[in-house]
Structure 1
Amino acid sequence: MSEAEPWEYTLYIPNDVRAVTVSRRTLRLILTLYGLIGLVDTAELLATELVANAVRHTKGPAALRVRWAAGVLRIGAWDADPEPPQPPKELRLLEEAEEGRGLALVRACADLWGWQPLTRYGNRGKYVWCELAAA
């Protein structure tokens, strides 16, 4: 497999906090198989935060999507809640906080991040994503 060839995987997950670990380990395996070892640690952190938000703050199913194209890794989480994610706060303001660090970490570690509302097959929801460029 060439590192230049685009690819995409989607992992559908139940609303279960254990899905965060399954998603993180699946992502590590995918990136390792494609030789993208240098992105694994940061990608795992980002996927963990995105999937954790999807599972903890919504009541329905979710999905992790991982895409590689043109030297950029896009990691995204879909969930069934159409409400926008809470804006990320500054990490320095969250040092003592028990919650609320997720999107702040995504903003700090990703090259780019965003979200979009989705309507598909009669289901509503949102897709929160971030990107990492290959070093």
Structure 2
Amino acid sequence: MATVSPPWTYALQLPHDPRAPGVARHTLRAVLHAHRLGALVETAELLADELVTNALQHAEGTCGLRLREPAPGRLRIGVWDANPEIPPPFKGDPTAPPDADAERGRGLRIVEMCADSWGATTLHQGGKLLWVEVVEGD
């Protein structure tokens, strides 16, 4: 059986479509199981879903999902879109808690609570890349 040592990378371009978060989760699950990182699936799916959903809500056009294992047991999830605005936690600013009856505004708080690290990069062709990392065993 062939094995792939870190770092490996997968990239997926997603259409501006409400089914995109589900496609991202399905792809993520398949990749993590193929690389024997099933322990990361639940947290990684939640994080990828939040980032892809935000890309669909705040940007026009396609977005992309990038999965990378930079070191054994460490997964980096990146989502790029065409909107150059970087949200507060990715700039180092904490997000304010949403009102108890708010219908939106919890996604980035989930990212702050579940990701081991995160960051953002402005893309030279326009837009941004938001990334989060999760570590096996944390």
* Global fold match (TM > 0.5): yes
AA of the residue aligned to 2:95: K
Aligned to 1:12: 13
60, 80, 83: which one pairs with 1:81?
83
Partners in 2 of 1:75 and 1:23 — Cα distance?
11
Return the offset for 1:131: 0.4
Partners in 1 of 2:71 and 2:18 — Cα distance?
32
Q: 1:95 to 1:112 in 2, by over 3 A?
A: farther
**Superposition RMSD in Å:** 1.7
Deviations 1:57-97 (A, max 9, x none): 11121000010021310001000111122445255x45432
User: Which secondary structure state, in structure 2, belongs to the residue aligned with residue 30 of structure 1?
Assistant: helix
Instruction: Give yes or no for contact 1:89–1:101 (8 Å, CA) kept in 2.
Output: no
Q: 1:26 to 1:94 in 2, by over 3 A?
A: farther
Tell me whether 1:108 sits opposite 2:124 in the alignment. no
User: Which secondary structure state, in structure 2, belongs to the residue aligned with residue 99 of structure 1?
Assistant: coil
Q: 1:60 to 1:130 in 2, by over 3 A?
A: same
Instruction: Give yes or no for contact 1:17–1:56 (8 Å, CA) kept in 2.
Output: no
Aligned to 1:130: 132
Instruction: Give yes or no for contact 1:76–1:130 (8 Å, CA) kept in 2.
Output: yes
Q: 1:115 to 1:63 in 2, by over 3 A?
A: same
Aligned length in residues: 131
User: Which secondary structure state, in structure 2, belongs to the residue aligned with residue 26 of structure 1?
Assistant: helix
* Structure with the higher strand share, 1 or 2: 1
User: Which secondary structure state, in structure 2, belongs to the residue aligned with residue 124 of structure 1?
Assistant: coil
Q: Which runs of 4+ in 1 moved over 6 A?
A: none
Question: Which ranges of structure 1 fall in alignment gaps of 5 or more residues?
Answer: none
Relative to the length of structure 2, the TM-score reads: 0.86
Aligned to 1:22: 23
AA of the residue aligned to 1:111: D
Partners in 2 of 1:3 and 1:96 — Cα distance?
47
Question: Which ranges of structure 2 fall in alignment gaps of 5 or more residues?
Answer: none
User: Which secondary structure state, in structure 1, belongs to the residue aligned with residue 127 of structure 2?
Assistant: strand
Deviations 1:38-70 (A, max 9, x none): 000000000000000011111121000010021
Return the offset for 1:100: 1.2
